[in-house]
Amino acid sequence: MNRRITFIQAVREAFQEEMRRDERVFVMGQDVQAGIFATTSKLVDEFGPARVINTPICESASVGAAVGAAMTGLRPVVQIMFGDFNYLAMEMTANQAGQWHYISDGALKVPMVIETPSGARGGAGYGHSQSLEAAFILPPGLKVAVPATPYDAKGLLKSAIRDDNPVLFFEHRRLLPQRGEVPEEEYLIPLGQADIKRVGSDVTLVAVSVTVHKALAAAEKLSQRGIEVEVIDPRTLVPLDKDTIFQSLQKTYHLVVVEEGRKRGGFGAELAAIAVEEWFDYLDAPVQRLGTISAALPYSPVLEAACIPSEEDIVQAVLRSLGQEE
Amino acid sequence: MATAVTMPRWGMIMEEGMVVEWLKKEGDEIKRDEPILIVESEKVDNEVTAPAEGVLRVIVVDEGETASVGAVLAVIAAADEDEAAIKAILTQAAQQPSPASSSAPASDSHPPATSALPPSPSKPRRIVISPAARRLAEDKGIDWQNLQGSGPRGRIERKDVLRAIDAGAKPGKRLPLSPMRKAIARRTLQSIQAPQAALCREIDITSILRFRRDLPVGEQGGDKPPTFTAMLVKAAAMALEKTPILNALLEDDSIWLDENVHIGVVVAVEEGVMVPVVRQTNRKSLRDIASELGELIQQARGGRLRSEAMEGGSFTISNAGPLGIDFFQALLYPPQVGALGVGRGRARAVVVDGEVVERTMAYFCVSSDHRVVDAAPIGRFLHDMDEIMQNPDLLLREIK
């Protein structure tokens, strides 16, 4: 495996392969034919405008239409570009898409994906910068994928499209141009299987999406000081692969969790609560959580950087966990 | 007027007590004689009542702390009482030595401000340990209470436990000595200082056991027959009347011969032993002794025995039969000079009137303080006990 392609290409390959494989799969969203973030670019050339549908600027209508299409047998992928705007479609996503399988006593399935580029990329400001993945672990019936590499993105998106449940698929915008190894041959990554991105023995560092890369960089720095950090990428927040995290904790007894989503009520809060509930006897220090502060993200790239967890913040959190803070 | 609430003295042996719980808090209205706190002394927990009416203005000794008898625990005063009166009591309190308090005497040059509290004695140290370290320590049987923590704010972490294991920490755990065990420790040490010896006689208890079994229920000792121990108490009371030197107290350079026989009975309780005293056993019927002893034992096992009920004994009996002990030297309780220890009854082949028969035999051993009691009176006492055991009807003899 030595082919290196971008995150964007990996996602586009997933679309191509799944749309070729299953004619029920189609894409809809604002300017998906052109592809604002290029993940859907050129799909229209191969699959035509009936399967690559541009929609008006109305997220609730797009997601609502997708829910209906999914209930009636199609497998839609809706793109909500700029993850922040998922809130506009929250009723359709949280109350409809996630719950109709239950409400209908299993008669209906809602196999759909919301593909959503998101996250802070240096000054897009309050409406175009948030990482909202943790907002979707609260409503029932939704799965939440947060790939951090091109390889994971392709494998997870293919699984998401084949899954019979609604799946939120978050693509951090800083990751889109990044390259990584992706094999030519087809593969799938099951939803709910974490990946140990770096093996270590001293601290378990669970990192979400873009922060996986910051965590790996922080781990390298810490390694020079003799601290070996195990970096775990959950890859999906729902379902959550608790076993892999717990196995790591049984080795390290120290847990740090980092996300670009907001710290308050975030994924880290959920994981810390699980740790206290289920893994209490394996905690040798308080769980350290890192996330974005509870404020509107500023337009100034400098101020934005001050609001979100940095590599250095992660280094310090690991040291705090080990009682070696500076 | 401000009134001090002080550590009471329950019984002559009490030297200090621990405040277990304040039933009232500072600022509460207090009625006279109302219970305001619970104190644990060496052998009992009990309520302390308010010596005066008013408001509980200041609590001096916190829960969990120990104070000497007479030490000021709190101050009760009228709601509008002048601070000076309270301060006067507190200054006095700060100057009296207290086992738990290392507080300096209040300085005259810097009178305390309105909240005239003396420096609060330090609270017991809260041990902070991580869940993982605690689990490891408990799995390995390491006493983590005494480990030094290297984590933030002294938190004990896994590495501290691992270090202790490497350093060869012995598996086990450390228990603080309870007030009762402290008292037992002091009494046993005191006891061992008396020059003492035990003299034993093997006694046939077949008859008395049969007698007990055959006693009509209801006639003697309420709805249950008297216990074997109650019978021993009654028998000893009768025998001691004939051997007064064993029913004596050695006080400095004199011997006190009590006109009555007050028998302490050793009772095993959860964390040690208690010795309630049945008073004037020589004036009581077997039934009265049995019911009184039964009540005292229940109080002892329920932790409700009052200190007074353990005082004033002139002789002590310990029945170790239920523990499966054959014979033993009973502990002497100075200033008493005699104690009887009875072992378990066992079926033996013995010779009676030239024939080998099965009889239930038990060892009766008398410990005595040799400064006062020699072998002869003990021999007489054991002979008399033997007589009563063979003729249990004597236990029902009219009380003089």
Say which of B130, B150, B152 has its CB closest to residue A283. Answer: B130
Enumerate the residues of chain A whose CB falls inside 8 A of the CB of residue B138. Answer: none
The dihedral over CA atoms of A311, A317, A318, A319, expressed in degrees to the nearest 10, equals 110
Alpha carbon A119 to chain centroid distance? 10
Q: Got the DSSP string for A133-189?
A: GGGGSSSTT-EEE---SHHHHHHHHHHHHHSSS-EEEEEETTTTT-EEE--SS----
CATH class for the domain made up of B125-176: few secondary structures
- A104 vs A164: CA distance, rounded Å: 14
Report CB contact under 8 Å: A282, B132: yes
Q: Tell which of B128, B135, B150 to mutate to test the A interface (max A CBs under 10 Å).
A: B135
- Work out the angle between the directed axes of helices B228-242 and B206-214 (0-180°, nearest 10): 120
- Looking at residue A25, its pLDDT comes to 98
- Looking at residue B219, its pLDDT comes to 53
Chain B nearest-CA distance from A227, in A, is 15
- Looking at residue B79, its pLDDT comes to 85
Biggest distance spanned by C-alpha atoms of chain A: 59
Contacts for B127 with CB less than 8 Å, ≥ 6 apart: B144, B145, B156
Q: What angle do CA B308, B311, B313 make, to 5 degrees?
A: 145
Cβ proximity of B229 and B317 under 8 Å: yes
User: Which helix (DSSP H) or strand (DSSP E) does residue A203 occupy?
Assistant: strand A203-207
Residue with tokens 């499209």: A161
Report CB contact under 8 Å: B151, A281: no
Going from the first residue of chain B to its last (400 residues), give the mean pLDDT of each consecutive group of 10, the final group possibly shorter. Answer: 86 79 88 88 80 90 85 89 83 62 39 39 67 91 85 87 84 75 88 91 94 72 78 95 94 91 93 92 92 93 87 95 92 94 95 94 95 93 96 80
Interface residues of A toward B, Cβ cutoff 8 Å, are: 253, 280-285, 323
Report CB contact under 8 Å: B133, A284: yes
- Looking at residue B93, its pLDDT comes to 72
| Closest-CA residue of chain A to B161 | A284
Q: What angle do CA B66, B70, B72 make, to 5 degrees?
A: 70
| Closest-CA residue of chain A to B136 | A281
Chain A nearest-CA distance from B168, in A, is 22
Domain ranges of chain B: 3-95, 125-176, 180-396
Report CB contact under 8 Å: B132, A284: yes
Q: What are phi and psi of B331, to 5 degrees?
A: -75, 135
Report CB contact under 8 Å: B135, A281: yes
Interface residues of B toward A, Cβ cutoff 8 Å, are: 130-135, 150-152, 155, 157-158
Report CB contact under 8 Å: A281, B131: yes
Report CB contact under 8 Å: B132, A281: yes
Enumerate the residues of chain B whose CB falls inside 8 A of the CB of residue A284. Answer: 130-133, 157-158
| Closest-CA residue of chain B to A253 | B132
Q: Is B394 exposed, middle or buried (0-12, 13-18, 19+ CB in 10 A)?
A: middle
Residue with tokens 């009591």: B89
Enumerate the residues of chain B whose CB falls inside 8 A of the CB of residue A282. Answer: 131-132, 135
Domains delineated in chain A = 4-181 (3.40.50.970), 195-321 (3.40.50.920)
Contacts for B54 with CB less than 8 Å, ≥ 6 apart: B3, B29, B30, B76, B77, B78, B79, B81
Report CB contact under 8 Å: B132, A253: yes
Tokens of B370: 């040799």
Chain B nearest-CA distance from A212, in A, is 27
- Looking at residue A5, its pLDDT comes to 97
Q: What are phi and psi of A37, to 5 degrees?
A: -105, 15
Q: Is B41 exposed, middle or buried (0-12, 13-18, 19+ CB in 10 A)?
A: buried
- A92 vs A109: CA distance, rounded Å: 14
- B190 vs B136: CA distance, rounded Å: 42
Chain A nearest-CA distance from B130, in A, is 5
Enumerate the residues of chain B whose CB falls inside 8 A of the CB of residue A227. Answer: none
- A128 vs A107: CA distance, rounded Å: 37
Enumerate the residues of chain B whose CB falls inside 8 A of the CB of residue A280. Answer: 131
Report CB contact under 8 Å: A284, B152: no
B180-396 CATH fold? Chloramphenicol Acetyltransferase (3.30.559)
Can you list the residues of chain A whose pLDDT is less than 50? none
- Looking at residue B112, its pLDDT comes to 37
SS3 label, residue B246: helix
Chain B nearest-CA distance from A306, in A, is 27
SS3 label, residue B85: helix
ipTM above 0.95 for this complex = no
What's the CATH code, domain B3-95? 2.40.50.100
- B325 vs A210: CA distance, rounded Å: 75
Residue with tokens 């494998």: A155
- Looking at residue B109, its pLDDT comes to 39
